[in-house]
Amino acid sequence: MGLQKAAQVVIGAQFGDEGKGRLIDYYAAQVGRDGLVIRFNGGAQAGHTVVTPEGVRHVFSHVGSGAFVGAATFLSRFFVSNPILFLKEIESLAGKGVEPSVSVDPQSPVTTPYDMMMNQIIERERDTGRHGSCGLGFGETIERNLRPDYAVTVADLVDQSALADKLEVIRREYVPARLARLGFADAFRRNTDLLLSNAILERFIEDAGRFLRLTTIADSRTATAGRSLLFEGAQGLLLDQDRGFFPHVTRSNTGLRNVLTLAQELELNQLEVTYVTRPYVTRHGAGPLPHELPEKPYPGIVDATNVPNDWQGALRFGWLDLDVLREAIAGDLAEAEQLPGLFLKPRLAVTCLDQISDDRVTYCTAKVLRQTSVGEFMMALTEAVNLSEREFNQDVTRAKKAAQAGPVFITDRGRPGHVLLSIDDSRRLAGAEASVVDLLAMPAEPEIEFDPPRLRGPLFRTDWR
């Protein structure tokens, strides 16, 4: 394969909120200031929480989750930049003694205040038919940027006069037309004072200028030269725009697709891909949730990040379905099968194990609801997902079976909070101890049979109403 050019990749395997930030922090701690976290999808609606061993907490949105240990950030062209919320995050990090280095691709789409306002107006007008949204304008940005006359990228922020002209066209032409097409023309008239406010337009131009002063514009090759690369995903595989439960999905590819495009451009030939899940499933916002529960499944669950809000409501919970997990990961790994000379080392990380009560985990496998010990649960996960090392090129078509080293528990300040499967070492997480769990099989608990909802795969559609 020649010279190894490798990168770490962290991808959520559920509906988001799996603990991706903690895993990026884990990998970034191993490379320190040589690290560069690449945001390859999503935008400011991501909320990746990292808590340092000293108890300093931050919810990362733009800035990569490796910033606490000195890793820089690159916002790729697949990431949507929001100058307003970027500045808030930089201010928050400054109060914690962190001044991140951030570079951004000039082709990165930009969220304007009109996208944020339209997003909230549209979700409010949908009432009980809401798609599920953070209310931060991410999807509306993608929709608007499909039309060249109204598209705004980071490169467009440089000329403030031209930017002001484009924003004027957006608010007077595009916004009313977009709302009318969705059947919400009256909403524009009710919100005219807000949507046509000159103060909002002028403030955004100021924010755009500050955004440029705090970042460096660079393409992917320039930004990544000489760095240890960590790709940080947003949301999760079950929210992917091509594989999720449409229309309750995000407007991005949440798996490997964008990573593979960038990997080809950067001539990478090895990706160590970590898929992340909790031992249960969460969903914040509207949409299907297989095996949904009326309340949190374990009393030890504490989530200070996903608090109830006007756009997503309260955090929802469900049992983990190992078959849905396997299908989602297998479908994502299949993206790489046509790429020549690419070696994939997939892993599975399970977070929040410290929240499990009495060492008993409830989960679904083969249409059966089971309750077992944590150790037996990990064995079931290993067998169900069956991750293997894969080398894809024109001559090699079969996957090489990985040597199974078993799960490695990574403790979080003395508590077994996380575990990596199919990992060949026991490196430390920010200095925390690591130990191997005993996988001696325990007697199975009584089983309950039922027929769960299934992940259907790609759905064809033409309208993102």
**323: which residues sit within 8 A by CB, 6+ positions away?**
364, 365, 366, 367, 384, 452
Specify whether 156 is catalytic: no
Co-location of 67 and 118 in the same domain: no
Question: How confident is the model over 357-379, as a mean pLDDT?
Answer: 90
Catalytic residue among 17, 240, 321, 332: 17
pLDDT over 70, % of the chain: 78
Choice among 48, 58, 62, 248 that is catalytic: 48
Digit-coded pLDDT (tens) for 381-414: 888 887 766 655 433 332 223 323 344 444 443 3
Please check whether residue 445 lies inside any domain of the structure: no
Cα(356)–Cα(374) distance, integer angstroms: 8
Are 149 and 205 contained in the same domain? yes
279 & 380 share domain: yes
Residue 18 annotated in ligand binding:
yes
Domain contains 11: yes
For residue 379, what are its two tokens? 């064995």
Euclidean distance between CA atoms 390 and 403, whole angstroms:
12
* 17 marked as part of a ligand binding site: yes
Please indicate if the annotation marks 19 as binding a ligand: yes
Q: Is 457 within any annotated ligand binding site?
A: no
Domain match, 180 and 96 both: no
Query: Average pLDDT over the chain, rounded to whole?
Result: 81
**How confident is residue 133, by pLDDT bands cut at 50, 70 and 90?**
low
| Predicted local confidence at residue 270, as pLDDT | 94
Task: Write out the residue range of the structural domain in which residue 308 sits.
Answer: 6-105+218-411
CATH, residue 209:
1.10.300
Residue-wise pLDDT for 146-162, tens only, equals 999 999 999 999 999 99
* Tally of domains within the chain: 2
Q: Calculate what percentage of the chain has a pLDDT beyond 90.
A: 56
Q: How far from each other are the two terminal CA atoms of the chain, in whole angstroms? A: 46
Helices (H), 386-423: none
Q: Which tokens is 82 given?
A: 């929001």
> Is pLDDT of 438 > 60?
no
In this predicted structure, what is the pLDDT of residue 440?
24
Q: Which two tokens stand for residue 145?
A: 């940027």
Q: 198-213 vs 113-126: helix axis angle to the nearest 10? A: 120
Q: Is 17 a catalytic residue?
A: yes
Q: Is 411 annotated as a binding residue?
A: no
Among the listed residues 271, 405, 404, 334, the one whose alpha carbon sits nearest the alpha carbon of residue 1:
271
- pLDDT given for residue 358 in this prediction: 82
Query: Does 375 score more than 60 pLDDT?
Result: yes
pLDDT tens for each residue of 177-198? 999 999 898 988 899 998 999 9
CATH code for position 247: 3.40.440.10
Q: Is 414 annotated as a binding residue?
A: no
- Tell me what the mean pLDDT of segment 112-133 comes to: 77
The mean pLDDT value for 447-455 works out to 40
Higher pLDDT, 126 or 99: 99
Residues 187 and 224 in one domain: no
> What does the pLDDT average to over 362-388?
88
